[in-house]
Structure 1
């Protein structure tokens, strides 16, 4: 945020006045609003959402009953100290979540505890459940052993925890872990359909365990498959480099924790997401799926599926009470909603209701609990449903403010096209980069079916260091970018540095790289002498109320036929066409070129007033554009103090008719 007062704004829960104020600076539109706006193709993938269920193996089901018995006893034990009571409940919940995430996560929680830790009675216990998933920010993917360590275990409970850990260590692998086996079957099918997959896990131990299982199994099924694991154990730069290195493989599987659910976009390498562990906060669901379902995804359809245990009561209530409802609302209104206010305490209350009412069953693959018949769970579900609906209603109201329906494409289309003219549209960037690299630096840039092959050998180091260290790179100037290509847009550092080198070289006679600022050619593309000029125009713009100033700088092309004094001015389209297409059809001596150029420069020097008028006219048009946007969106009024005169004459290009 440029204005710090908006750094902490809570849009979903803000008052109408605050939202209206913020709407002056913020535009929110659905995908459907922009996909064909101004007749441009802005493609987004279609998201196929769904669920896969799995059943516990007989051995894991028996084990789960034992854990459930143990955790239920934890929550029922009498504790006078309120803090100790809360930590026993949280420990029970942590153990259930860890055991059902994976044997590895469960064992880590059961074994990695500090025995006989002294816990003073006056310890200030937090009142917020530390197991609840945060809305935003770095996710905590480590096992919550700090919670378990702060629980006062009896000698019997310590022996039981050790016994449970020993049993769980024997239930690893596809033979007993049907959850991992089901994930393998899903991913195997997706890979056969060429869907590279991201699998999100809750805990580091689960991600490492699952990654090892899948790598061993999938490498037997597919050649040249790359299976990687990324967790918060790795530094940020290592995570990014590990993902970038997967580019060379056509089939990819990335097992990750929520450390990747924000920040790193994966749409250029993956087309499917599998939620191995259900997030307890629906905001995390959208953050995970948004890594692949975003602009720049070249696949027409992406997959986003939940994996849940049909005999796991915690999975059941998370799915029924939270995730399905949020997905239904997204499908109906076309956008994702942020989960309601005070979401962590809401989810915590639902979990507590489940844990206090669940009952283990010795029947195979069946947990005897019908939540629809439990009043406390039903009440919590109603509260959650109402909160989700309020969030959806607020989102609809916000959209009516932030969508700015008053903006009509036709009213600003001309301004947007002029903006592209000034800063360069996709085609202009493509022509500039490919032609400059070839003509100024002698760099080989070869067209291929999807973009270009760029050979980096002759690139100056300041440009080469921006790109991956490879002798040959595939680049594209279009977004979405084909898989395996580097996107080079007008805001890319490579383009910026290339501009700086050429601009500096154009005015420095000692520079190694000097683009031509003047030329004289004979061409059959004109029937009268035609002169094209390239100006750098700068305008100082001032806010009327605050008097804050900014400088708007752009390149301006202009041209005329015949003598300069006649002012037979070319249209912008005519100038652009000649700039792009005019070719020399016969040769001229250096002396003849110099004479023509010297004569024309002398004539141009007498047009100072005409050129100043061009700069002033351009400045007025900029303010008219600003004013149109201000009327549509509200905001600051501007005025031009004055153009910086004279304009800088950057290039003179003379085209003489070729009569031969």
Structure 2
């Protein structure tokens, strides 16, 4: 089943909170020093591309790839450009120690679809193209010139980014900056640590995370940043998948434009996703106004993605052949002599598609590819048909699931009532705040927690564990609070501990049984808590599994007296179990006799019990069949319920004395 934001925001009448994405662009102009270097690099790239077009086989591709790599590296940052050129001067071999002669696989300079393909500068690519002596001398000069640009006075791209980040931090945003290469991320991170030290009276924490760090180190460093009120994360695309950032960050800056439109959503989706508590997240593209490649990638590809998302509310993946489309667009730019002449004059460069017929042609192909992608998306949505799901049936199944395993309100009630009443642990409700989004938040005091429960909470491994913990039972969870859901280890351990205590036999008090007087009933009413096991078999493979659940059942009167007695509906029994309040004490001998009388009634009720189990099994089959028809899954049938059901609880409710 495809479940996208547009499907779940108002699903079944519930508001699922998602932030509003504020998408925009920020531009910069190259400094005169950088313009001269860009003109030289563009001229060199076009020479290589032109020469490659005259060659055959692998060398043709290597020359074209090298031209793209040079432009992309130099425009990413002076540090990335210098690193790439230094490696080219060394003529680095490939991994097996030899220079390859054949070009195989996709273009390594482009960004692959939905797959992290490395964040090192593509030095192995530019080592393949043949460079003459004059070009090698030009590379040597460019290395020194690029090294001299590594400051905010001459690197206007970095200066513009710092200016934007400062304004975001003042507004309370916590940014993530995505760079294409490790060299760029490291260089930018160093500049930020020098220039972006404080905002007002608060220090700014800057961290750089790249693929050079193992995955567990990346997670640890990101988690540690959450303690800093002002934080900036500089990262490569190693974080564009896998690690979610919505709990600590609220803005994305694309320092380097992705060369694959699908990467745009991957990056922004790390922050703009369910669990983000900020009402608005920012997502900005940083591009060079006088950079032909940026102009094409932005104008032809990325703006189209954002237009579609704005108009339709969904992100349409770029077609599978996006690589060949982008290759053609970039090749058209590289082979456009007007770009080189403009750069040589150090003028403001803007791609005029009317002046470049080949680029205009490729732009039309991009539009056509996107139109096909939109049509495919519409077809996909009809095939996976959210509207084909009968909402009222699904809602009923979901309500039963929540009743069986506990919804967030049930988890909240269980934890906040069980801790003080049964373990003597203090947990207090906090005053509501506008930033909590209506969620109930608590302060949990951990001093009296048993060791196994304390170990399931954060900070347990510290030399001096915290004595208080801010917790919340709703998601998204407000900033600074720890989420306790039904699958949290703390909740599971608490359930197991209380269940073990309830099942422990004590001579002085029968387990799981009670007799109370309450005004909730007018005649004697008995509630029973059953555990039922159903053996389920897959129809095609005949593979079996056992499903277990709890059922509440009840009746009014005495089934052994010969008088009429009434069986409660499941809803009536459930409400009585949760709401009946004891209003008077009973002498222990009287209570014990009443419990024994109720136990003696059980054999007469076995036929009714078995009917309950059989009816429930049939309903499970019906619910699964509804699900199977939507997802085309395997067909299951309940072979038989295991009879008799286990009676785990017996509760006798007596009306008040008259």
Whether the TM-score (by the shorter chain) exceeds 0.5 is: yes
Partner SS, residue 335 of structure 1: coil
Residues of 1 paired with 2:91 and 2:248: CA distance? 48
Residue in 2 that maps onto 1:653: 651
Residues of 1 paired with 2:575 and 2:651: CA distance? 13
After alignment, is 282-291 or 166-175 more displaced?
A: 166-175
Residues of 1 paired with 2:76 and 2:92: CA distance? 26
Residue in 2 that maps onto 1:359: 340
1:457-492 CA deviation, whole Å, 9 max, x = no partner? 444444444432252322222122212222222333
Residue in 2 that maps onto 1:254: 233
After alignment, is 255-264 or 323-332 more displaced?
A: 323-332
Residues of 2 paired with 1:376 and 1:631: CA distance? 49
Residues of 2 paired with 1:412 and 1:538: CA distance? 23
5 Å matches for 1:272-421?
272-357=251-336, 358-360=339-341, 361-364=343-346, 366-367=348-349, 370-421=352-403
1:34-84 CA deviation, whole Å, 9 max, x = no partner? 322221111222222121111111221122222223323333447756423
Residue in 2 that maps onto 1:157: 135
Change (3 A) 1:200 1:368: closer
Matched-pair contact (CA < 8 Å) for 2:8–2:16? yes
Residue in 2 that maps onto 1:642: 640
Matched-pair contact (CA < 8 Å) for 2:535–2:547? yes
Residue in 2 that maps onto 1:455: 445
Residues of 2 paired with 1:229 and 1:380: CA distance? 37
The one of 157, 177, 180 aligned to 1:199? 177
Residues of 2 paired with 1:287 and 1:273: CA distance? 11
1:299-325 CA deviation, whole Å, 9 max, x = no partner? 232221111001010000001111111
Residues of 2 paired with 1:647 and 1:501: CA distance? 24
After alignment, is 234-243 or 582-591 more displaced?
A: 582-591
Partner SS, residue 607 of structure 1: helix
Residues of 2 paired with 1:123 and 1:375: CA distance? 33
Residues of 2 paired with 1:365 and 1:101: CA distance? 20
Residues of 2 paired with 1:122 and 1:634: CA distance? 48
Q: 1:200 Cα deviation (Å)?
A: 0.9
Q: 1:495 Cα deviation (Å)?
A: 3.3
Matched-pair contact (CA < 8 Å) for 1:261–1:288? yes
Residues of 2 paired with 1:77 and 1:629: CA distance? 60
After alignment, is 66-75 or 453-462 more displaced?
A: 453-462
The one of 610, 613, 624 aligned to 1:612? 610
Residues of 2 paired with 1:603 and 1:62: CA distance? 96
Residues of 2 paired with 1:648 and 1:519: CA distance? 17
1:556-586 CA deviation, whole Å, 9 max, x = no partner? 1122334354543334344333333333344
Residue in 1 that maps onto 2:547: 552
Residue in 2 that maps onto 1:443: 425
After alignment, is 555-564 or 199-208 more displaced?
A: 555-564
Residue in 1 that maps onto 2:161: 183
Residues of 2 paired with 1:655 and 1:147: CA distance? 80
- Normalised to the residue count of structure 2, the TM-score between the two structures is 0.88
Residues of 1 paired with 2:291 and 2:424: CA distance? 64
The one of 41, 46, 55 aligned to 2:15? 41
Q: 1:278 Cα deviation (Å)?
A: 0.4
Q: 1:120 Cα deviation (Å)?
A: 7.3
Aligned residues: 631
Change (3 A) 1:592 1:260: same
1:388-437 CA deviation, whole Å, 9 max, x = no partner? 21111111111111124232323433233222222222211222233333
Residue in 2 that maps onto 1:533: 528
Residues of 2 paired with 1:133 and 1:58: CA distance? 30
Residue in 1 that maps onto 2:481: 485
Instruction: Show structure 1 runs of 5+ residues with no match.
Output: 1-26
Residues of 1 paired with 2:318 and 2:299: CA distance? 15
Residue in 2 that maps onto 1:10: none
Residues of 1 paired with 2:130 and 2:98: CA distance? 10
Q: 1:614 Cα deviation (Å)?
A: 1.4
Matched-pair contact (CA < 8 Å) for 2:111–2:259? yes
Q: 1:546 Cα deviation (Å)?
A: 4.1
Residue in 1 that maps onto 2:462: none
Residue in 1 that maps onto 2:558: 563
Change (3 A) 1:459 1:87: farther
1:61-108 CA deviation, whole Å, 9 max, x = no partner? 122222223323333447756423422322221121111111221121
1:581-614 CA deviation, whole Å, 9 max, x = no partner? 3333444454444333333223335422222221
Residue in 2 that maps onto 1:236: 215
Partner SS, residue 22 of structure 2: strand
Matched-pair contact (CA < 8 Å) for 2:241–2:266? yes
Q: Does 1:59 align with 2:59?
A: no
Q: Does 1:268 align with 2:261?
A: no
Change (3 A) 1:417 1:116: closer
Matched-pair contact (CA < 8 Å) for 1:30–1:334? no
Residue in 1 that maps onto 2:73: 98
Partner SS, residue 539 of structure 1: strand
Q: 1:161 Cα deviation (Å)?
A: 1.9
Residue in 1 that maps onto 2:597: 599
What RMSD, in angstroms, separates the aligned Cα atoms of the two structures? 2.8
Residue in 2 that maps onto 1:425: 407
Partner SS, residue 226 of structure 2: helix
Change (3 A) 1:608 1:114: farther
Partner SS, residue 359 of structure 1: helix
Residue in 2 that maps onto 1:476: 472
Residue in 2 that maps onto 1:582: 580
- Normalised to the residue count of structure 1, the TM-score between the two structures is 0.88
